Structure 1
Amino acid sequence: MIMTWLCKEKRNMFFYECRACYFSIDIKCAYLSSSYKFNQQPKLDIHQHPLTVIESPMAIDVLRRFNCFWCHEPLIDAIYFCFDCPSFIIHKKCLDELPPKIDHPSHHKHPLFFNHSDSDRFCNLCQKEHSRHFYCCSLCHFNINLECALLRSIIEDKRSHQHPFSLLWRQGSFICDACDTEGNYISYICLKCYIVIHKKCISLPRIIKFSRHDHCIFHKYFLQTQELTEQDCKICFKEVKLDRGSYSCGKTGCNYVVHVNCVLEDDRLYEVIEEEKQYEELYEKSIQSSITHVIEVNEAGEATKIEHFSHQHCLVLADKMEEEIDRKCDGCMLFISTFIYYCSECPFFLHKTCTELPKIKTHWFRQWQATLNFEGFKQCEFCAQYCSGFFYNIGGAWDMCIRCGKCKFTLGFGCLTLPHSALHKIDQHMLNLTYHDDREQSYCDICEQERDPRLWYYSCSNCDTSAHTECVLGQFPFLKDGSTFSHYDHKHRHDLEFFRKAEGYPRCSYCGKLCQEEILKCKKSTCNYIVHCKCQIYQV
């Protein structure tokens, strides 16, 4: 499924894509090129990008939902359309026949005359800088840009609000009831609900799916106290005023709430939901389980015997391991504790929480559907660790971090994914991840080198053991012995298997040194190819 650039809709169909910039357009939109006239330019150069004439816009499904930004009427006649700014759509006749002089309610003293300037001019209405054409009063130094010059007295958008909004001119500022930010001069009022909002907020989407929340969120002009137990925006962590507009989760018991401008700041992070039915379909997809079949359940309703997409045998629920062994979850590669599913036919284990991971999940940083897969040997695009087990396939490389919204505390994905506890032969107890050390000078008990007390480390409070995180975990902590490195992903002609130790210390086929660390060994019995894991990765 791809979101196309022109219609902003997700479609399951063939599409055209530019490999250089990832511009994409589906076949339906591409076939509309016969309606375009690329060589016909408007009489007035009012826009910073070239404009395209579309003679029959009503023949294009995606344009039926828009209105002319000048007269706000439906796009029945020929229009000018900007491919760089899809919101800039204006009737051809509106642009070609702009009046040279207008009387405007914002300035009763004198008429306003149409003018042009190559430099930016400050619009007295929207309080923003604009270039090119505008209406002005040279006596009073009063300027308004074209979009502010002609405003509809009544605007109705049933998708966002059940009543029409009426234009309300103001001499001063106001606080918008839809987004809780300040506005000037131009406002619209609902005479039945008595809410005053910006013009741009009339068309706020009522329902959106935000990439950083599992459920759809709804726009409301006010919230009641009983609807929320927490009132901080989950993006900026500042207070959300309950008597102003915000987006909040529609699921009962969920306290997710965000400011309007916070959640709509980046259109790559949300999807507009047009109908309630679409919202229900998205919710059903978000809870689709990776458990393919439930065979048995207990009295509490828990699945005690299941089939899971990641394993060929049935898995059985247990509250703990029968024997105290050094065993990791085959899904996340972290140590097994309590509540696991295990295979009675082979050594395969999964945390209960790992078996319940959704099959499809929305990517945090884009509106992309990520699918859960079970891989043998793969590099995570976020933390750059080589891992085996569960992966969400997203695509693309990422260089980012996680930052606290209330202070400057920042974590890279490598540190964010460090296990809270780990085992090492240096200590009989589980070593815990520790965040601070009051001692001025410290040493690692594994490599015996000095350790920076400001950096995280693993420690045992019982034995006073402390060690570098990399010394405890090794270079490949999230890889399982026997994981398969497909020949499609490296230069050797056969599949390779990962092992933490090599029998007999053979020589590396790449660097010629003895293999005393993690190795990759050819799966083909007649091939003697053995290489240090790090040597093979350098070749990829």
Structure 2
Amino acid sequence: MLYLAVFFFIDIKCAQLSSSFKFSQQSKHDIHQHPLTFIESPTIIDVPKRFNCSWCHEPLIDAIYLCPDCPFIIHKKCLDELPTEIDHLTHRLHPLILNCSDSDYLCNLCQKSTVEDKSRHQHPFTLLRRQDSFICDACGTEGNYILYICSTCSLMVHKDCTSLPRIIKFSRHDHCIFHKYFLKGLTRQDCKICFNEVKLDRGSYSCRKSGCNYVVHVNCVLENKSFYEVIEDEKQCAELEEKSMQSIRVIEVNEAGEAAKIEHLSHQHCLALADKMEEEIDRKCDGCMLPISNIFYYCPECPFFLHKTCAELPRIKQHWFRQSNATPDFNSFKTCDFCSQRCSGFFYEIEEYWDMCIRCAKVADIIECEGHQHFLFFDFKCEEKCNGCRERCQYGTFRCGKCRFALDFGCLTLPHSALHKIDEHKLKLTYRDDKEKSYCDICEQDRDPGLWYYSCSTCDTSAHIEYVLGQFPFLKDGSIMAYHIYNHNYLHDLKFFRKVEGFPECSRCGKFCQEEILKCEKFACNYIVHYKCRYS
């Protein structure tokens, strides 16, 4: 039985503690929805000892009123003394009216409402109402009026925070992260999602791995359910890490303990480890299509090369862009959905919908960039224009938490250097030009000094990025593209080439072919098209 007033409820025993009673003319027998039967001596009818008075909760010794339809019993003396309306100190705005229903309203003072889920918290939480706001110990944000408390741990939390998952696997971190109500032994920490400060004396999610100081706000990490998975058992964490197996099998190990000879899933021959090219040739990695510049694997039998980091990428990757398994495609000729570049080489397929080239897949969600003085982090909601190319960013942006600087995947994965016949030296990717007016030495047109470009400081050469790299910087000659010829009933595997000998006619437009062509190399097939004519 409760007293209530516009969404405020209080148990009768709590109301007794401090109130001034004011009786109305309502009949006392109207306190219950069913007719009540008067019994002068309960012992005569042998009322079970397990029942107590619904008002005072004392044993049923004296005269009572009993409901034949439900287990409602009340002492006659309690009914005679029972006020139908009271003024109470805990709710001074309105009088509290006796609630006669069997509804599940709960008292705010005696805290009879409890929430218990030991998989989330080891003790039950109890409902409490208060007149002012509070700071939730579980998520560190403000709450108003309605809260749940754990008296054992001295915690005050939002209702939703009583059931926070204890362990989650977040797509933007390699390890499982755990919910903690406070963190010890750390200095100031910034959330790795929003880059605002995490209060160490409030709830957050953090990584337990030694040396890993990954900490995030509760509300930031749980904002989108597609980016995390709830882990019910800590043993699952180890199982998830085991899934990310490498794509290599080690054949030989050198004295330094490195894999000197391997088999890779993408290639039919064994690969050997090397740290420099025997010839001064501009070789590219067959995985990411970037120049070979540091330690790499090569095939002794054919011209196949892989950066060591590309070779060691896992066969199943938990990529931070989505909380799902990303699987590799080693024989690709696709457009990357992130940098928008047409690429051969390795791709990851995410949710069977997104195609991500290896260059983009290797980018972490928090990065340092030579073109900016602060850390950048990926913000799924940001739609700023990229500072490198001034194009509007899709699917989110790498942005700075301290200033309005943003980069897209396309600029972030550009080669740091490139060769071009305009200069005998390698041209370096350059991020700012202090000149008021700039000039491109390839197209011989004005260049926007606010955009990124390639330059040689020795020769004072500078040029637009697109003219230095060309139209297809990440396509390898001989890359195979499955191609359907509409006037035939079969697929042709066409090979991509930047140059072609002679001047063959395009099978589509009839004009001479010189650059960027697709060619069928099957016996007795002379099919050849300009790359731009492939779908015309």
TM-score surpassing 0.5? yes
Shift of 1:488: 5.7
Q: Does 1:154 align with 2:152?
A: no
Deviates more, 1:458-467 or 1:522-531: 522-531
Q: Which residue of 1 aligns with 2:222?
A: 264
Aligned match of 1:273 in 231, 240, 259?
Answer: 231
Q: Can you list the C-alpha shifts for 1:49-78, whole angstroms capped at 9, x where unaligned?
A: xxxxxxxxxxxxxxxxxxxxxxxxxxxxxx
Residue 156 of structure 2 aligns to a residue whose secondary structure is strand
| Identical-residue share of aligned pairs (%) | 71
- Pair 207,528 (structure 1): closer, same or farther in 2 beyond 3 Å: same
Query: Do 2:106 and 2:113's aligned partners in 1 also have CA atoms closer than 8 Å?
Result: no
Question: What code does the residue aligned with 1:260 have?
Answer: V
Residue 192 of structure 1 aligns to a residue whose secondary structure is coil
Q: Does 1:499 align with 2:497?
A: yes
Query: Do 1:381 and 1:396's aligned partners in 2 also have CA atoms closer than 8 Å?
Result: no
RCO comparison, higher one (Cα < 8 Å, 6+) = 2
Shift of 1:457: 0.7
Shift of 1:354: 0.6
Question: What code does the residue aligned with 2:229 have?
Answer: E
Q: Which residue of 2 aligns with 1:182?
A: 142
Query: Do 1:502 and 1:519's aligned partners in 2 also have CA atoms closer than 8 Å?
Result: yes
Structure 2: 5+ residue stretches without partners: 1-83, 356-393
Q: Which residue of 1 aligns with 2:389?
A: none
Shift of 1:397: 5.7
- Pair 532,154 (structure 1): closer, same or farther in 2 beyond 3 Å: same
Query: Do 1:401 and 1:413's aligned partners in 2 also have CA atoms closer than 8 Å?
Result: no
2:418 and 2:85 map into 1 onto residues whose CA distance is 75
1:459 and 1:401 map into 2 onto residues whose CA distance is 29
Residue 189 of structure 2 aligns to a residue whose secondary structure is coil
2:108 and 2:523 map into 1 onto residues whose CA distance is 79
Q: Which residue of 1 aligns with 2:246?
A: 289
Q: Which residue of 2 aligns with 1:308?
A: 264
> What does 1:454-493 correspond to in 2, within 5 Å?
454-487=450-483, 493=491
Aligned match of 1:218 in 153, 178, 199?
Answer: 178
Residue 206 of structure 2 aligns to a residue whose secondary structure is strand
Q: Which residue of 1 aligns with 2:44?
A: none
Query: Do 2:431 and 2:453's aligned partners in 1 also have CA atoms closer than 8 Å?
Result: yes
Question: What code does the residue aligned with 1:409 have?
Answer: F
Shift of 1:149: 9.7
Residue 219 of structure 2 aligns to a residue whose secondary structure is helix
Shift of 1:152: 5.5
Shift of 1:305: 0.6
Q: Can you list the C-alpha shifts for 1:210-265, whole angstroms capped at 9, x where unaligned?
A: 11111111100111124xx6611011100111111000112211111100001111
2:89 and 2:484 map into 1 onto residues whose CA distance is 69
1:361 and 1:278 map into 2 onto residues whose CA distance is 16
Shift of 1:208: 0.7
Q: Which residue of 2 aligns with 1:19?
A: none
Residue 486 of structure 1 aligns to a residue whose secondary structure is strand
Q: Which residue of 1 aligns with 2:508?
A: 510
Q: Which residue of 2 aligns with 1:44?
A: none
Q: TM-score, structure 2 length as denominator?
A: 0.71
2:485 and 2:336 map into 1 onto residues whose CA distance is 14
Question: What code does the residue aligned with 1:153 have?
Answer: S
Residue 487 of structure 1 aligns to a residue whose secondary structure is strand
Q: Which residue of 1 aligns with 2:418?
A: 422
2:425 and 2:150 map into 1 onto residues whose CA distance is 67
2:473 and 2:105 map into 1 onto residues whose CA distance is 61
- Pair 148,252 (structure 1): closer, same or farther in 2 beyond 3 Å: farther
- Pair 495,455 (structure 1): closer, same or farther in 2 beyond 3 Å: same
> What does 1:236-251 correspond to in 2, within 5 Å?
236-251=194-209
Aligned match of 1:318 in 269, 274, 284?
Answer: 274
Aligned match of 1:370 in 306, 314, 326?
Answer: 326
Query: Do 2:428 and 2:454's aligned partners in 1 also have CA atoms closer than 8 Å?
Result: yes
Shift of 1:102: 12
Cα RMSD between the aligned structures?
2.8
Deviates more, 1:105-114 or 1:409-418: 105-114
Q: Which residue of 1 aligns with 2:24?
A: none
Shift of 1:489: 9.9
Question: What code does the residue aligned with 1:474 have?
Answer: G
Residue 243 of structure 2 aligns to a residue whose secondary structure is helix
Q: Does 1:389 align with 2:345?
A: yes
Query: Do 1:237 and 1:406's aligned partners in 2 also have CA atoms closer than 8 Å?
Result: no
Which structure has the larger Rg? 2
Question: What code does the residue aligned with 1:251 have?
Answer: K
Residue 497 of structure 1 aligns to a residue whose secondary structure is strand
Aligned match of 1:339 in 280, 291, 295?
Answer: 295
Q: Can you list the C-alpha shifts for 1:114-161, whole angstroms capped at 9, x where unaligned?
A: 9xxxxxxxxxxxxxxxxxxxx9xxxxxxxxx99999986222111111
Shift of 1:513: 2.7
Aligned match of 2:285 in 329, 333, 345?
Answer: 329
Query: Do 1:177 and 1:244's aligned partners in 2 also have CA atoms closer than 8 Å?
Result: yes
Query: Do 1:331 and 1:389's aligned partners in 2 also have CA atoms closer than 8 Å?
Result: yes
Aligned match of 2:440 in 440, 444, 455?
Answer: 444
Q: Can you list the C-alpha shifts for 1:383-425, whole angstroms capped at 9, x where unaligned?
A: 2211111100123369323233332222222222211111112
Structure 1: 5+ residue stretches without partners: 1-100, 115-134, 136-144
Q: TM-score, structure 1 length as denominator?
A: 0.70
Q: Which residue of 2 aligns with 1:400?
A: 395
Shift of 1:512: 2.7
Q: Which residue of 2 aligns with 1:298?
A: 254
- Pair 192,505 (structure 1): closer, same or farther in 2 beyond 3 Å: same
1:491 and 1:107 map into 2 onto residues whose CA distance is 83
Query: Do 1:502 and 1:516's aligned partners in 2 also have CA atoms closer than 8 Å?
Result: yes
Question: What code does the residue aligned with 1:478 have?
Answer: F
Residue 171 of structure 1 aligns to a residue whose secondary structure is strand
Shift of 1:481: 0.6
Residue 470 of structure 1 aligns to a residue whose secondary structure is helix
Query: Do 1:106 and 1:169's aligned partners in 2 also have CA atoms closer than 8 Å?
Result: no
Query: Do 1:190 and 1:196's aligned partners in 2 also have CA atoms closer than 8 Å?
Result: yes
Aligned match of 1:110 in 89, 95, 98?
Answer: 95
Q: Which residue of 1 aligns with 2:309?
A: 353
1:494 and 1:241 map into 2 onto residues whose CA distance is 60
> What does 1:116-195 correspond to in 2, within 5 Å?
153-195=113-155
Question: What code does the residue aligned with 2:468 have?
Answer: V
Aligned match of 1:528 in 502, 514, 526?
Answer: 526
Question: What code does the residue aligned with 1:396 have?
Answer: Y
Query: Do 2:108 and 2:129's aligned partners in 1 also have CA atoms closer than 8 Å?
Result: no
Shift of 1:434: 0.8
Query: Do 1:361 and 1:371's aligned partners in 2 also have CA atoms closer than 8 Å?
Result: yes
Shift of 1:106: 6.9
- Pair 457,147 (structure 1): closer, same or farther in 2 beyond 3 Å: farther
Q: Does 1:200 align with 2:160?
A: yes
